Structure formats: structure tokens, C-alpha cells
Structure 1
Amino acid sequence: MINKIKKKIPVCAILGVNIAAVNMEWLMEFLVNNIKKLSGEYICVSNVHTTVTSYENSEYLNIQNGGLMALPDGGPLSSLGRKRGYSKMSRIAGPSLMNEIFAISEEKGYKHYFYGSTDETLKKIQVNLKRSYPEIQIVGMYSPPYRKISQSEDEIVVSQINDVKPDFVWVGLGAPKQEIWMNLHQGLIKGLMIGVGAGFDYYAGNIKRAPKWMQNFNLEWAYRLLQDPKRLFKRYLITNFKFIWLILINKKFK
């Protein structure tokens, strides 16, 4: 069943990663029509950093390609896809996807579980979402410890998640940790897992999203860099340069 569903998703291979050649309208229709069938699967929200990392790490590449789909969060990915003939492909940022799904959750009766970040951030998310969507169903939240959790601890958390039967399991551990976690729990979690990284911080109000004009010009990375230069400078400098080198100079078309 799930393989038939996956075959309906158009993809554009970029440095080996099968990036979904879709837009938000297509994705929302797809999710609404299939959400119950997608339980146990995961979606990666991919950008230049995760794509270059996948190119250099075959294990991580398999994780990116092993889920339901890898969405084009990075603007350069969707721009490149359009140049390769996928005219309707557009950027789908994690926070934007969250917003679209939250907006219809009261009507659809969707249940949400949040896995990741800190207790403080999770509490802020709950308060903010309840303020915007009073009837939204947040059925659980869990902030994992920074240490590696034992198998027995993990089994308890999985059981707790499955007991409340969420439709969406939002995973905010940051890349590559969140994708590794989702891959390890593929088929074990009852719900569709989506790795949204900084999406948790956006909805908690810890950081702000870039103005619309910066998002439209693929400059949201620069806005994030200004907010967290110490952590992001090296990542953006190295991976963005490698991406340009591989695509434009070495012409890695797949």
C-alpha cells in the first residue's frame, strides 16, 4: 500500500537525494487524502545542508531517501528543480507546513504530538497554539534528555505516543539527529513523523522567521544566521559553498 502511495510522489534527484518535486497545495491535498494510511512513515524537511551531508554520507543519504518523502525546504533546491523541468516545484519550509496543518486541524480533528526540544519550549508551543487554535488537539509532548536514552526508556516513550494515537508526530531534534530518530522508529510509531528542526523554536517564539520578502528571495538562511551566528556560520559557509561547487562547477546533476 505505502509503496503505491510513494510512487505517486514526483521527485527530482539532487546530489543523490530524491527531493519531492511538489508545492504546498499539492502536499496538503496529498496529506489530507492519505493521512491515515501514512502512519509509521516519516517526512524529511530537507535543505542545502542536509543534501550536501547526504552526498557525503551514504548512511544519511539512505535515511533521507528511506522515508515517505524529502521536502524542498531550501530555496536553492526548489529553484534547481524548476530549472530541471519541475515547473510547479516550490519551497516548503517546515514552519510553513506546520502552519498549514495547524490551520485545518480543528476542522479535521487532527491530533498532534511533539517530540524534541526542551520542556520550556514545549510549554510555550502549547500556550501559543492554544491561543491561536483553541480547539487544537495536542495529545502529548516529550523532551528527550541530552544523553542517549536506553532501549527500555525509548520503548516507554513509543508506547506513550501510540496510546494517544496522534495523526502527526512533530520531531524537533535538529538535523541529522531528527532524521536518524525517525528512521529508527519507522513502522513503530503510530502517526506520521515530520522532522521540522527549528520549527519548534519558531512556534515557541524563541526565534522569528524572516520577512516575507527574504523568504521569497531564498534569503531566510541569512536571517537565521543573524539570529544565531555562532552556531550557523560554519555550517552555512561550508555547505553552501560545497553545494555551489558541486552543482555549478562539477555539475553533479543527480
Structure 2
Amino acid sequence: MATSTSEYIHKVDKSKIPTCNILGVDIAAIDMEWLLDYLINNIHDLSGDYICVSNVHTTVTAYEDDEYRKVQNGGIMAIPDGGPLSSVGQKRGFKNMKRTTGPSLMGEIFKISVTKRYRHYFYGSTDETLEKLYDILTETYPGIQIAGMYSPPFRPMTEEEDKEIVERINETKPDFVWVGLGAPKQEKWMAAHQGCVNGLMIGVGAGFDYYAGNIERAPEWMQKSNLEWVYRLLQDPIRLFGRYWHTNTKFIWNAVVKGK
């Protein structure tokens, strides 16, 4: 099976990545420009590693779960997808720390993929969404190299099935392996396959649905005002209200008020 995060030796020096510890999670104190430059310069050495796209929900979950916190901290970095994370970081002295969302990162990478000859693999979601995603990406970014796509079953995979899909991914020689399983499942999957999957794994949650056209992103003014969560809540109130109430109140109390 896969190498655990405690055994994995990163091929790049993590100490060179500025971080702000929020509720025990080392959130990268970066902006999109820094992140893109870092990925472009280190993409080959990042093969086998993973990036967590972190928000209030994942950070509070990690605060309450030791094992998940190890997963969040075990990759090459955890980027601040949630606006409140970058806001807390700035208040703690990391003035250059800005929100770097998963969907925005995907878009920036897609834009340069043809000239950089990046190959992409998409792991997660449904066959229907992957088909839509393929059509839209190939139309929007002519010449983009989609190495492969796979929608895993909604049940635990056998060891043999898991080994087979890892071999299938590696045969396509991807640079980026986008993982859309939702948190915390996608982070746990990446950690379990660290050092086994060839390519940089990035857990992007709803990123597949955004680019497939299943759901719309909030207007840019809401994104810049850290209000995208409100837009998401209005789109899916039944599923998200309980989560937001639980995690947002805990985040405000522990990270903002108590300064953890």
C-alpha cells in the first residue's frame, strides 16, 4: 500500500515555505503569485507529494482530530483556500498572505498548461461530471493535455482495485493529479498515496463541479470580501448550514478570540 506521511521524505525543503500555524495546522502564508512561481519551478520534484486546499471547515476538523491534523501538515503545504485563514494570518504579521482557492489555482494552472506541456489527471466525482469537465476544458483551453480521468466507486476500494488505479494513473505520467473527493476524504486519500502516485496531488473539493458547470462560483466581489461561503450556503443550505454553524463559531472562538 502507500507510504504514510510520517515516513515520506519530501524532495524539496519545506522550511522554505512560509507558514502561519492556525489551530495546529501550518497554513502556507503565501499568495497566488508566490504559489504559481513555486509550482512552476518545482513541479518535477513535487511528484508524489500533495497539497491540501484548506478552509475553516478543514482547519477546525484538524484541530479536533489528531490524525487529520497530521494529514493536513503531512503534505508539501496547506494553502489558504478560506478567506478567514488569510485574514487571521495577516493579523498575525503575515502581510503577504492572501486567499488562494482551489478553483482559482486550477484556472491559473490550466492557462499555462499548453505552453508548459503539463499533463493532468482527474480523480473523483462522477462519470457524468468528468465527461462535462473534459468537454469544457478542451474547448476552453485548446491543446490542454488531459492524461486521464477516473470516478472511483462510492464504497471502500479493495487493495487490488487501489493498486490497479494507482498503476493506471502512473502510466499516464501526469504532472498534476487533481483530487475531487471532498474533505476530509480527499486529503486522507492523498496522504495514503503519498510517494506512490506519480504527479503532484491537489485536493480541490468542488473544483470539478465548478469547471464542469454544475455549480457557479460567487461573484468576484464576494470572493474578495471573504463572502463566498455565503454564496455556497445559499446554493446548498440543507447540507452546509450545520457545517458552517459548527465550524465557523468554533473557528471564531478559538482562532480569532483565543488566538490559537
Q: Normalising by structure 1, report the TM-score.
A: 0.98
In the alignment, which of 96, 101, 109 is matched to residue 117 of structure 2? 109
Separation (CA, whole Å) in 2 of partners of 1:224 and 1:66: 28
Partner residue, 2:87: 79
Instruction: Give per-residue Cα distances to partners, 1:19-73, cap 9 Å, x unaligned.
Output: 0000000000000000000000000000000000000000000000000100000
Relative to structure 1, is the Cα distance of residues 190 and 4 closer, same or farther in structure 2, using a 3 angstrom cutoff?
Answer: closer
Structure 2 Cα separation of the partners of residues 137 and 248 of structure 1:
43
Which residue matches 1:123? 131
8 Å contact from structure 2 (residues 12, 46) kept in 1? no
Question: Is the counterpart of residue 153 in structure 1 residue 157 in structure 2?
Answer: no
Q: Matched residues in 2 for 1:32 and 1:252: separation?
A: 34
State yes or no: 1:138 paired with 2:146.
yes
SS in 2 for 1:99: helix
The answer to whether the 8 A contact 2:11-2:46 is kept is no
Unaligned runs of 5+ in 1: none
Is 2:198 the partner of 1:169? no
Amino acid at match of 2:110: F
Find the counterpart in structure 2 of residue 200 from structure 1. 208
* Residue identity in the other structure for 1:157: I
Aligned with 1:222 (options 216, 220, 230): 230
For 1:147 and 1:207, locate their aligned partners in 2 and report how far apart those are by CA, in whole Å: 25
SS at match of 1:71: strand
Aligned positions of 1:2-13 closer than 5 A: 2=10, 4-13=12-21
Count of residue correspondences? 252
Provide the C-alpha distance between the structure 2 equivalents of 1:247 and 1:13, rounded to a whole number of angstroms: 10
**What's 2:58 paired with?**
50
In 2, Cα distance between the equivalents of 1:196 and 1:248?
26
| Separation in structure 2 between the aligned mates of residue 114 and residue 15 of structure 1, nearest angstrom | 30
Deviation, 1:7, is 1.4
Aligned-pair CA distance for 1:6: 1.2
Superposed CA deviations along residues 93-144 of structure 1, whole A, max 9, x for unmatched, are: 1100000000000000000000000000000110000111110000100000
Q: Distance between the aligned counterparts of 1:122 and 1:157, measured in 2?
A: 16
Letter in 1 for 2:40: V
Is there any run of 5+ residues in structure 2 with no aligned partner, and where?
1-8
Task: Tell me the CA shift for residue 4 of structure 1.
Answer: 4.4
Distance 2:256 2:237 in 1: 26
Between the aligned residues of both structures, percent identity stands at 66
> Could you say if the C-alpha distance between residues 218 and 154 of structure 1 is closer, same or farther in structure 2, counting changes exceeding 3 Å?
same
Q: 2:45 aligns with which of 7, 22, 37?
A: 37
Task: Tell me which residue corresponds to 2:70.
Answer: 62
User: In 2, Cα distance between the equivalents of 1:88 and 1:210?
Assistant: 24
Of 88, 98, 109, the match for 1:90: 98
TM-score (norm 2): 0.95
Over the aligned positions, Cα root-mean-square deviation in angstroms equals 0.9
Question: 2:134 is paired with a residue of what secondary structure?
Answer: helix
Q: Shift of residue 245 of structure 1?
A: 1.2
Once the 2 structures are TM-superposed, how far is the Cα of residue 162 of structure 1 from its aligned partner?
0.3
Answer whether contact 2:88 2:256 (CA < 8 A) is retained. Answer: no
- Please give the alpha-carbon distance, in whole angstroms, between the structure 1 residues aligned to 2:82 and 2:104: 12
